[in-house]
Amino acid sequence: MAVRIHNFNPGPAALPLTVLEQTREAMEDFAGSGMSVAEISHRSPFFENVINQSIDRIRRLLNLNSDFKVLFLQGGASLQFSMIPMNLILPGSSADYINTGTWSTKAIKEIQILEKPYKVIACSEDRNFCYIPKEYTISEGAAYVHYTSNNTIKGTQWNSVPQARTSPLVSDMSSDIFSRPFDPSPFGLIYAGAQKNLGPAGVTLVIIREDMLARCPKNIPTMLRYTTHAEKNSLYNTPPCISIYMVSLVLKWIEETIGGLEAMGIRNRKKAEMLYDYLDKSDFYIGTADKDSRSLMNITFRLGSEELEKKFTSEATRNSLGGLKGHRSVGGCRASLYNAIEPESVKALIDFMKEFARVNG
């Protein structure tokens, strides 16, 4: 096998090596079927077992009760930006949104296109989205309160769940789901593109509460109704079978190898603290997020000039440290420390940063 680099890509992101190895085997013969996992029917007992075991693991890891349905959809988190208001805003109601960056902004754009009623109750754009708002007032009777739990581009993350009182929370957890434990009970819907912490691109996890399903109208296209997929166990049409299979392997790794979300949360916090501790002591690298809003998943920082940043990412790549370039919309540098990133990779990055600062400082 070729030498693997330290992969800090923001998504598609690093996957556990054991998941890749098991997938390679399944590409030849899946579960003794004599077929590749890419060839089996999605309506066969082989695949139904995959999807049902995945749902069971998700329920255990998140402590979901029977009020929640677990769905595997397509279209990425971006399709959810429009599906959510189409399905969940009843006539005469309005939704609240908290804007903390690019993905929140895109979600708001979609509700504007649909001309559904909404209100932005908090926004951190005044300081270039470098912090999580602490003050907001939720509208009385809001259909839902939407927020993005982790902001990959700006490097900020909610440290606790917003207090929504009687309105259900709806959250885009694409970049931090299964990275730490949380209480699912305040949520009406959770959605996440898989390609950060959960698996490869191509499948989107949606967790929706039964009372939210009851809202779904029948006058929207069939494929855009949550009830369509809930009633058919995500098998209304052909799902992305390989992606869901790999998600099942990642879930197994989280549950059986790591030891669940409590252990994963401790592991991820330690990794992030290692890198933040170095950044805080350095006068060469500058963190971009407020300390009390820092993400454990995406650590963003700048150097003294864009030229120096280009040199940093170029030399990092030559030293087998990949994916450190910041998002094209903001520049700078970013280290994404998703679940599959090992502590040894963080140590290798810090060692490189120290040497780069010594030579170029």
Query: CA distances (Å), 9 to each of 184, 267, 295, in order?
Result: 28, 19, 15
Q: Tens of pLDDT along 12-23?
A: 999 999 999 999
Per-residue pLDDT at 131 exceeds 80 = yes
Q: Is residue 163 part of a domain?
A: yes
> 96: closest CA among 62, 49, 27, 145?
145
| Residue whose entry in the numeric block shows the structure tokens 């996440």 | 192
Q: Are residues 168 and 192 in the same domain?
A: yes
Going by the DSSP 8-state scheme, the letter that residue 325 receives in this structure is: B
Q: Are residues 325 and 236 in the same domain?
A: no
Q: Tens of pLDDT along 179-204?
A: 999 999 999 999 999 999 999 999 99
SS3 letters across 16-58: CHHHHHHHHHHCCCCCCCCCCCCCCCCCCHHHHHHHHHHHHHH
Residues acting as catalytic residues = 103, 172, 196
Residue 141 identity (one-letter amino acid): G
Q: How many CA atoms lie within 13 A of 2 on its CB side?
A: 4
Q: How far apart are CA 95 and CA 84, in angstroms?
A: 10
Per-residue pLDDT at 1 exceeds 70 = no
Q: Is residue 194 part of a domain?
A: yes
Q: Are residues 310 and 238 in the same domain?
A: no
Q: Which residues contact 359 (CB under 8 A, 6 or more apart)?
A: none
What integer pLDDT is reported at residue 165 of this predicted model? 82
* Cβ 334 vs Cβ 325: under 8 Å: yes
What integer pLDDT is reported at residue 249 of this predicted model? 98
* Last-in-domain residue among 258, 282, 310: 258
Report the pLDDT averaged over residues 324-339.
Answer: 96
Q: Which residues contact 128 (CB under 8 A, 6 or more apart)?
A: 154
Q: End-to-end CA distance of the chain, in Å?
A: 37
Which residue range forms the structural domain that includes residue 264? 260-360
Q: Are residues 23 and 61 in the same domain?
A: yes
- How many other β-carbons are positioned within 10 Å of the β-carbon of residue 123? 17
**Which tokens go with 130?**
């470098």
* Cβ 28 vs Cβ 356: under 8 Å: no
* Last-in-domain residue among 233, 258, 283: 258
Q: Is residue 228 part of a domain?
A: yes
Residue 29 identity (one-letter amino acid): D
**Which tokens go with 198?**
């959960």
Q: Are residues 319 and 356 in the same domain?
A: yes
Radius of gyration of the chain (CA): 21
Q: Tens of pLDDT along 289-320?
A: 999 999 999 999 999 999 999 999 999 999 99
Phi, psi of 193 (to 5 degrees): -65, 140
What integer pLDDT is reported at residue 35 of this predicted model? 94
Q: Is residue 118 part of a domain?
A: yes
Residue 131 identity (one-letter amino acid): Y
Per-residue pLDDT at 138 exceeds 90 = yes
Q: Tens of pLDDT along 238-289?
A: 999 999 999 999 999 999 999 999 999 999 999 999 999 999 999 999 999 9
What is the band of 126 on the pLDDT scale with cuts at 50, 70, 90?
Answer: very high
* Cβ 192 vs Cβ 198: under 8 Å: yes
Q: Are residues 212 and 131 in the same domain?
A: yes
Q: What percent of the chain has pLDDT over 70?
A: 99
- Mean pLDDT score of the chain: 97
Q: Tens of pLDDT along 29-88?
A: 999 999 999 999 999 999 999 999 999 999 999 999 999 999 999 999 999 999 999 999
What integer pLDDT is reported at residue 3 of this predicted model? 83
Q: Is residue 10 part of a domain?
A: no
Going by the DSSP 8-state scheme, the letter that residue 202 receives in this structure is: T
Report the pLDDT averaged over residues 107-117.
Answer: 98
Going by the DSSP 8-state scheme, the letter that residue 242 receives in this structure is: H
What integer pLDDT is reported at residue 361 of this predicted model? 87
